Amino acid sequence: MTEQDFILKSYNSNIENGSVKWSSPSNIALVKYWGKKEHQIPENPSISFTLSDCKTTTEVTYTKKENKDFSFDIYFEGEQNEAFKPKIQTFFERIETYMPFLKDYHFKIETSNTFPHSSGIASSASGMSAIALCLMSIEKELSAIQNESEESHNYFNNKASFLARLGSGSACRSIEGELVVWGKNESTESSDLYGVKFEGDVHPNFHEYQDAILLVDKGEKQVSSTVGHKLMFGHPFAKERFSQAHHNLAKLKVILASGDLKAFVKIVESEALTLHAMMMTSMPYFILMKPNTLEIINKIWEYRAENDSNICFTLDAGANVHVLFPKAEKDQVYEFIKSELVAYCQNGHYICDSVGKGAKRL
């Protein structure tokens, strides 16, 4: 598929109004996306677990209007929200070529998250994928051709992911589950334009994998991901990093099939630390980890060694720690989290999640 394939060619302009609703999850990358080219094209491939419970629910109500400019209102958790407007405006501008009906309607966008507001959890992946899916449902309602074939289902998901990517790169990996690859590579079916469900073998060790998100710092990040990505331009280690991501993805594919948990831990933790190493070696350099992030990492390493556990950590572009572990270790690991790690979480907060199957129309 190319960009051209995602341009809506014709639609029924007689539909006056309607409403659609989706819930879409967050995702956690195992091989990280860090560095992008123009138009949100990633510099390297990434793969993520789709989460189950951390999600955004978005309802979009559309009403016909005179075609002049974009028109929308956003309600976040019941209250009108002006702060999100510029982001949505930019998003609409980026996707208008692909959705020529956007200026024909006024949109009321009502959105809420299952995870606490300002928990420091990136809501852009779930938020942008949820709105992209709503717009796709509207496109489907306006489309002259109504078709329920597998082909049209795939087109729907691919285009939803394509649009979500233009909102926020990692959002393109939130449409489907349980593992999604984004970015052209030689090991898996893939595209730079949208996320693709990972179709390789997945050993039962990885079924219902658990993710406990330890909220170390709920504050606003000092450096946004968008700025961080840009600092990979001219970064002294960029070339090596991008090629490492290809190798790690190839290795991970084999590991997912074989169920080798020890090898999984090594790749996942190395990816997390490499991501933060890139931040620390950018110019300007920055650190998003906090002292408690390191305390938690050290505790996890201790626990793993002492208990022959397969627990590991990963990090996003922030201080919070995602603790990943097989379902078989759930009871013991939660005991450990409660007794040893909660002390390092802001107000003792953490979120229990696991791998999920992707977005749902409500």
Q: Which residues bind ligand DP6 (CB under 6 A)?
A: 29, 32-34, 40, 46, 122, 124, 168-170, 225-226, 229, 275, 316-317
Give the residue at shortest CB distance from ligand DP6. 169
Q: How far apart are CA 240 and CA 236, in angstroms?
A: 9
Choice between 185 and 225, CB closer to ligand DP6:
225
Instruction: Give the shortest CB-230-to-ligand DP6 separation in angstroms.
Output: 9
Instruction: Give the shortest CB-196-to-ligand DP6 separation in angstroms.
Output: 15
Give helix 238-258 / helix 261-280 axis angle, nearest 10°: 160
Choice between 285 and 307, CB closer to ligand DP6:
285
Q: Which stretch of DSSP H or E encloses residue 196?
A: strand 196-197
Candidates 133, 72, 143, 68; CA nearest to 104 is: 68
Residue owning tokens 């302009």: 13
Instruction: Give the shortest CB-229-to-ligand DP6 separation in angstroms.
Output: 5
- Determine the straight-line distance between the first and last CA of the chain, rounded to whole angstroms: 28
Choice between 132 and 275, CB closer to ligand DP6:
275
CB 134 within 8 Å of CB 98? no
**158: helix, coil or strand?**
helix
Q: How far apart are CA 325 and CA 88, in angstroms?
A: 36
Q: How far apart are CA 142 and CA 95, in angstroms?
A: 17
Choice between 35 and 326, CB closer to ligand DP6:
35
Choice between 13 and 90, CB closer to ligand DP6:
90
Instruction: Give the shortest CB-187-to-ligand DP6 separation in angstroms.
Output: 17
Choice between 45 and 326, CB closer to ligand DP6:
45
Candidates 180, 242, 179, 247; CA nearest to 37 is: 242
Instruction: Give the shortest CB-269-to-ligand DP6 separation in angstroms.
Output: 15
Query: How many CB atoms sit inside 10 A of residue 266's CB?
Result: 15
Instruction: Give the shortest CB-168-to-ligand DP6 separation in angstroms.
Output: 3
Instruction: Give the shortest CB-161-to-ligand DP6 separation in angstroms.
Output: 13
Q: Which DSSP category does 69 fall into? A: S
Instruction: Give the shortest CB-344-to-ligand DP6 separation in angstroms.
Output: 21
Choice between 249 and 296, CB closer to ligand DP6:
249
Query: How many CB atoms sit inside 10 A of residue 327's CB?
Result: 15
At a CB cut-off of 8 Å and minimum separation 6, what does 89 contact? 70
Choice between 167 and 326, CB closer to ligand DP6:
167
**23: helix, coil or strand?**
strand
Structure-block tokens of residue 135: 């717009």
Structure-block tokens of residue 313: 């950590």
> b/e for 83-110, b at 16 or more Cβ within 10 A?
ebeeebeebbeebeebbbbbbbbbbbbb
Instruction: Give the shortest CB-14-to-ligand DP6 separation in angstroms.
Output: 36
Instruction: Give the shortest CB-43-to-ligand DP6 separation in angstroms.
Output: 11
Q: How far apart are CA 225 and CA 36, in angstroms?
A: 11
Choice between 43 and 316, CB closer to ligand DP6:
316
Choice between 33 and 209, CB closer to ligand DP6:
33
